[in-house]
Amino acid sequence: MDHPTSADLTEEPTGDLIRRLAELSEIGIALSQEKDIDRLLETILTAAMKLTHADGGTLYRRPAASPDLLNFEIVRTHSLRLALGGTTGVKITFEPVRLRDEAGKENTSMVAAYAVLKDRTVAIADAYRGEEGFDFSGTKAFDQRTGYRSQSFLTVPMKNHEGDIIGVLQLINAQDRATGAIVAFSATDQRLAESLASQAAVALTNRMLMLQLENLFESFVTLINHAIDDKSAYTGGHCQRVPELTMLLADAVDRAKSGPLADWHLTEPDRHELRIAALLHDCGKITTPVHVVDKGTKLQTICDRIDLVDTRFEIVKRDAEIKALRARAQAATEVEVAAIEEEFHQRLRAIETDRRFIHACNVGGETMKTTDRDRVHAVGKKYRWKTAHGEEIDLLTADEIENLTIYSGTLTAAERRIINRHIDVTITMLESLPWPRHLQRVPEFAGGHHERMDGKGYPRGLTRDEMSVQARIMGIADIFEALTARDRPYKRGKTLTESLLILGQMRLNGHIDPDLFDIFVRERVYERYAQQFMAPDLIDAVDVTQIPGYSGD
């Protein structure tokens, strides 16, 4: 089990050694480029088997969370056509190798465990000779079941650049390159395998570190969305649903075999970049005041000011009653009393009618009639009341009239500017980050979902040709989620049909991308989304022939 010296490499013919060193160099390059963990593990083991001309091998990993275990990750035996783990999809059922027993005693009888515990390579010429006192009972049982003979072993600890052993590379049955006979692993085999194991450990550690950083970043993104969720129970689900709908539509476009977008496709890195952008598309809302985001009625701020208006109406009623009582006290006849009573009750009915009207105006809608807006102004000036300081003022303030006469929805122009500013904040936040090359388009994707194809959107007034397909996809996803959502404070969720009719109208007036809209409808992306996220009572039967702007091609 001694380590070979550099002099031992002279055993190898010069030509073969140069070839194998070249192979080792190529393997190192391949390891540094592989990003998928399963493929990386397979590359490590198969490269080691090829380099040493081994018939079989096993790659174990030592999990950071359970450092006293060695888990089977990849198992290969050429002559048995055995391939377990990795990209094969065939699960390995072998129990992990324990480095210590329950009492903490080192398990030095198992070769793989010994290599880790003693931090050294173990080379065994013939396991059936009982060399070094290792326990090969499990290996022999495997041989008995399969008719195999596990003879020569080369077991190498995989140590990364920090000196941590993160796994074990075990090679079985070296084959003579000329005859194919099973032979012991040579000193050159051992030296090359150790070099490969070192390179492999560094490559694996680097890849795991990259995955950890990616997971950390995605967790941070999720944290931001949860913070927005906590700010507003009404729009929190939006941050989770838009990414799902974005990816549903993107995948449908990727599958398209005809039409203007038939040549548009997403690679896995592209999908990751788009999903990150979708997750962050509203991150600027973290700065938007809650009372604006959650404004469910026109008079709502921290509370709904309709209650203050009701109080003033009660004061107006009280004043009318006091006036009637005083007039009645001075009345000389029953006829005069009856007239005063009738006038008072008419006044109360008029006040109550106007109060109910103001209540109705406080609820946001698609549009508000001009006559109703004029009446709000009239009611606001029609009644006067005295404050606690004796000042007589109009029933409604100028700010209350401005809010009650909002044409559509519940937001004033100033409040809508505050809401719209979230996209500027989103872009500023995202553009300030040092994005790696494969995520550099995240700010553009996330920042374009409120633009329009005709250039009338915001914040930059981009036209269709100035936007990426990804940004246009997110625009449709953002709108459709908002239409169907039932967790908004100012509206009920719309049915599938209602939502698609509105979306179709937006396609006709230049709001959304027409090609993406056609795919959205033709591939029934809306249907898959509805099944996952919409309330059952909003999922109705859709007649696509009635959707404006959809040709059916």
- Domain presence at residue 227: no
Query: Are residue 59 and residue 116 in the same domain, yes or no?
Result: yes
- Domain presence at residue 192: yes
Can you tell me the distance from the alpha carbon of 315 to that of 266, in angstroms, rounded to the nearest whole number? 65
Can you tell me the distance from the alpha carbon of 71 to that of 85, in angstroms, rounded to the nearest whole number? 11
> Bridge partners of 182?
175
Instruction: Examine the fold and report which residue of 351, 380, 409 is the final residue of a domain before the chain moves on.
Output: 409
Query: Are residue 75 and residue 101 in the same domain, yes or no?
Result: yes
Residue 363 makes CB contacts below 8 A (sequence gap 6+) with 297, 298
Total domain count for the chain?
3
The count of other CB atoms within 10 Å of the CB of residue 324 is 18
Q: Give the model's pLDDT for residue 33.
A: 67
Q: Give the model's pLDDT for residue 233.
A: 61
- Domain presence at residue 216: no
Q: How far is CA 373 from the centre of its chain?
A: 43
Can you tell me the distance from the alpha carbon of 128 to that of 126, in angstroms, rounded to the nearest whole number? 5
Please report, for the domain that includes residue 523, its CATH number: 1.10.3210.10
Q: Give the model's pLDDT for residue 224.
A: 81
Instruction: Examine the fold and report which residue of 357, 382, 409 is the final residue of a domain before the chain moves on.
Output: 409
Query: Are residue 40 and residue 118 in the same domain, yes or no?
Result: yes
Can you tell me the distance from the alpha carbon of 248 to that of 240, in angstroms, rounded to the nearest whole number? 13
Query: Are residue 461 and residue 362 in the same domain, yes or no?
Result: no
Instruction: Examine the fold and report which residue of 360, 376, 409 is the final residue of a domain before the chain moves on.
Output: 409
Query: Are residue 422 and residue 288 in the same domain, yes or no?
Result: yes
Query: Are residue 161 and residue 255 in the same domain, yes or no?
Result: no
Query: Are residue 288 and residue 310 in the same domain, yes or no?
Result: no
Query: Are residue 262 and residue 329 in the same domain, yes or no?
Result: no
Phi-psi region of 328 (alpha: psi -120 to 50; beta: other; left: phi over 0): alpha
Contact between 288 and 226 (Cβ < 8 Å): no
- Domain presence at residue 220: no
Query: Are residue 385 and residue 526 in the same domain, yes or no?
Result: no
Query: Are residue 500 and residue 392 in the same domain, yes or no?
Result: no
Three-state DSSP class for 553? Answer: coil
- Among candidates 49, 59, 51, which has minimal Cα distance to 79? 49
Three-state DSSP class for 66? Answer: coil
The count of other CB atoms within 10 Å of the CB of residue 299 is 23
The count of other CB atoms within 10 Å of the CB of residue 256 is 18
Q: Give the model's pLDDT for residue 6.
A: 38
- Domain presence at residue 225: no
Q: What is the largest CA-CA distance in the chain?
A: 135
Say how many Å lie between the first and final Cα of the chain, rounded. Answer: 72
Range of the domain at 289: 232-293+414-546
Query: Are residue 419 and residue 395 in the same domain, yes or no?
Result: no
Please report, for the domain that includes residue 137, its CATH number: 3.30.450.40
Per-residue pLDDT of the chain (553 residues; tens, 9 = 90+): 444 433 344 455 655 666 666 676 676 666 666 677 888 888 888 888 998 999 999 999 998 889 999 999 999 999 999 999 988 989 999 999 999 988 889 999 999 999 999 999 999 999 988 666 788 888 899 999 999 999 999 999 988 888 889 899 999 999 998 899 999 999 999 998 888 888 888 888 888 888 888 889 888 888 887 777 677 666 657 888 999 999 999 999 999 999 999 999 999 999 999 999 999 998 888 888 878 877 888 888 888 899 999 999 999 999 999 999 999 999 889 999 999 999 999 999 999 999 999 999 999 887 899 999 999 999 999 999 988 888 999 999 999 999 999 998 888 999 888 888 889 999 999 999 999 898 999 999 999 999 999 999 999 999 999 999 999 999 999 999 989 987 555 556 789 999 999 999 999 999 999 999 999 999 999 999 999 999 899 999 999 999 999 977 6
- Domain presence at residue 215: no
Give the dihedral sign, CA 533/538/542/546.
negative
The 3 state secondary structure assigned to 360-407 is HHCCCECCCCHHHHHHHHHHHHHCEEECCCCCEEECCCHHHHHHHCCC
- Domain presence at residue 217: no
Give the dihedral sign, CA 437/40/215/285.
positive
Query: Are residue 454 and residue 434 in the same domain, yes or no?
Result: yes
What's the one-letter identity of residue 516? L
Extract the tokens encoding 533: 């996220």
The count of other CB atoms within 10 Å of the CB of residue 76 is 23
Angle at 474 between CA 473 and CA 480, to 5 degrees: 95
Can you tell me the distance from the alpha carbon of 356 to that of 452, in angstroms, rounded to the nearest whole number? 39
